[in-house]
Every structure is written in C-alpha cells, then in structure tokens.
Amino acid sequence: EIVLTQSPGTLSLSPGESATLSCRASQSVSSGYLAWHQQKPGQAPRLLIYDASRRATGIPDRFSGSGSGTDFTLTINRLEPEDFAVYYCQHYRYSPFTFGPGTKVDMK
C-alpha cells in the first residue's frame, strides 16, 4: 500500500500570495498516477490535477502540479478568495487508491 504524507497540515496565507503544498509517497508512484483534489466545506471534492501535472477541465492556470517518483507539489499562484480550502493528493497507480491527510489553506 502506498502511504501519502502531506505537508504542511495548515497553510495560512493572504489573497494574492502563492501556496506550495507537498505530497510525499512511501514508494514510487510510477507513471505519475497522482492527483490533487480541492474540497470546500459542505461540498464534494473537485479534481484539480491528474497525472501529476495535467490540469483538469476548467481549472484555472494559477494551479499547477509537478513532481515524480515519491515527491509531488501543488502550487497555487496568486491565491484568490475561492482558493481557501482543503487540498488532498491521491494516487491511482493500483489498489488501494489512497488519499493523503490533506492540507488546509486558510486565510491569514
């Protein structure tokens, strides 16, 4: 089983700043089968990034994903008020398709 660790647990930032979220896997996520999801309170998750760096349909270009192997990063440039949420990384290389514990981006 691939265990995903996310850091930091909480990121306190102001609108207009940039956010860098980290996701580390316990073993290689080969072929970049790594996704990032955003979840706001009371809402379903929303796919942001798949295959480590591909933006999902309709996702603004201020969101970008990078990384390979065991280390992955989600970068959010110029935070907008609607970007304050919880972000989860997830691998889909093989079962079990585990999620990380999440990083909360809140407003300073």
Partner 1 sequence: EVQLVESGGGLVQPGGSLRLSCAASGFTFSSYEMNWVRQAPGKGLEWVSHISTSGSDRYYADSVKGRFTISRDDAKNSVYLQMNSLRAEDTAIYFCARSFAVWGQGTLVTVSS
Q: In what order do the strands lie in the sheet with 4-7?
A: 4-7, 19-25, 71-76, 63-68
Q: Output the smallest distance, CB 78 to partner 1, in A.
A: 25
- The first and second tokens of residue 13, run together, are 């930032």
**In terms of CB distance, is 45 or 69 closer to partner 1?**
45
Grouping H, G, I as helix, E, B as strand and the rest as coil, residue 81 is helix
Q: Please, what is the minimum distance in Å from the beta carbon of residue 97 to partner 1? A: 5
Cα–Cα separations (whole angstroms), residue 78 to 17, 63, 92, 107 = 5, 9, 29, 13
Residue 73 or 98: the one with the smaller Cβ distance to partner 1 is: 98
Q: For binding to partner 1 (CB under 8 A), which residues are involved?
A: 35, 37, 39, 43-47, 50, 56, 86, 88, 90, 92, 95-102
Q: Smallest distance, Å, CB 102 to partner 1?
A: 5
For partner 1, the closer of residues 80 and 94 by Cβ is 94
How far is the C-alpha of 88 from the C-alpha of 79, rounded, in Å? 17
Nearer to partner 1 by Cβ, of 19 and 38: the residue is 38
